[in-house]
Structures are given as structure tokens and as C-alpha cells.
Amino acid sequence: MHKDIGKILITEKELDEVTARIAAEIDRDYADGKKLVLVCILKGSLMFMSDLMKKITVPLEIDCMRVSSYGCGTTSSGAINIILDLIRPDLAECDLLIIEDIIDSGSTLSYLTRYLVNKGARSVRTCTLLDKPSRRKVQFVPDYVGIEIPDEFVVGYGLDYAENYRALPYVGVLKPEIYSE
């Protein structure tokens, strides 16, 4: 285990099981007549999406967006900025599935869903690996959820603290002394 990690919250085996379960749900829901486009929200969802897409068997395309809502600490700034937009001429025929690493306040996904619906996508649904329902500031219910977790700041499997720890293969909780603030 990495020296800065106090405990592992979700093991590699559990992540493998969770991604397989979500992939099966997506396979069931996008079986016919859909043009499924997975939209990876960079950078946190990179590892989750790459594992998930290997397990989905229905045809799919991929795309990426990048937004900023956090500074480099552990608290949200609230405002959402689109840094990399989704530009597709065929958007009106696309069934978008936004792939997110974690929902905290709910602002990122509720903003993005509204944004992509208004932009003209045929359908927009959301999938998150982790959910902290106790932290909601904006009412938002994702369509696919991996695991609900308590109010702890987690890193690994794509998730960062000040851009570090994204490459860890598990989701862990940082030791309190790592938070310098």
C-alpha cells in the first residue's frame, strides 16, 4: 500500500466486480436502436471508463470532456467551467452516457446533464463510480452508481488530491497528515 494511504476503501477485486455489474446494466439498457457514446469526464474518470468500456458488449463510441469545479484542495469551488467541450456534428442522434468518477455536491453532473440536453443530444444519462449522497447541495440522482461511500476524501483509480495518486489501482483514504491546510 502507498505510504500516504491510511486505508483501502475499495480493492481492485471490488472495482472489477462493480465495473462488471454496471457494464451488464448498460448492456441491458442500450441493447437496441441506440447510438451509445460514453463521455469520459477527464481526468478523474479515465481509469474507470477504460475498465468499464472493456466490459460493455453493445456497440459504443467514446468521447471526452474536461470540466473544472475543484481547486487543488479537498473542497469545491462551486462554479463549473468547461475546459474541453463535446463537439460532434451527429449530436442529435447520440445517446450520451456521462462517465464520472465521483458525485459530491452534485453540481458537476447536474450542470453537465442540462448543458448536453440543451446542446441537442438525443438522450443524456449519467454513470458514476462513487457517490457521496450525504454531501449533496444540488438534488441529483445518477442513472448508474457503482458504490455509495461515506463523507471521506478518497484518491486512486483516477481520483486525485492535488493531481497525485491517480495511478493507484484501488480507492483509498489519505492519511490526515497529508492534508496540509
Which residues are at the interface with Mg ion (CB under 5 A)? 44
CB 147, CB 130: distance < 8 Å: yes
Cell numbers at 95, concatenated? 445517446
104 binds, among ligand IMP, Mg ion, none (CB under 5 to 8 A by kind): ligand IMP
Residue 29 DSSP SS3: helix
Q: Which residues is 113 bridged to in the sheet?
A: none
Q: Residue 156 Cβ, how far from ligand IMP at the closest point, in Å? A: 9
8 by Cβ neighbours in 10 Å (0-12 / 13-18 / 19+) ranks as middle
Q: Given the complex with Mg ion, which of 44 and 146 has the nearer CB atom?
A: 44
**Is 32 annotated as catalytic?**
no
Candidates 13-21, 31-39, 112-120, 147-155 — which segment interacts with ligand IMP by CB under 6 A? 147-155
106 binds, among ligand IMP, Mg ion, none (CB under 5 to 8 A by kind): ligand IMP
Which residues inside 93-112 make contact with ligand IMP, applying CB under 6 A?
100-108
Q: Given the complex with Mg ion, which of 15 and 130 has the nearer CB atom?
A: 130
Residues 82, 107: Cα–Cα separation, whole Å: 13
Selecting among 4, 51, 85, 104, the annotated active-site residue is 104
Q: Given the complex with Mg ion, which of 41 and 56 has the nearer CB atom?
A: 41
DSSP code per residue over 85-106: ----TTGGG-EEEEEEEEESSS
Distances (CA, A) of 25 to 85, 93, 146, 153, 171: 27, 21, 11, 27, 22
Q: Given the complex with ligand IMP, which of 37 and 154 has the nearer CB atom?
A: 154
Candidates 11-19, 28-36, 81-89, 152-160 — which segment interacts with ligand IMP by CB under 6 A? 152-160
Which residues inside 15-54 make contact with ligand IMP, applying CB under 6 A?
44
Q: Which residues is 81 bridged to in the sheet?
A: 68
Cell numbers at 136, concatenated? 449533496
Binding site for ligand IMP (CB under 6 A): 44, 69-70, 76, 100-108, 153-155, 159
Q: Which residues are catalytic?
A: 104
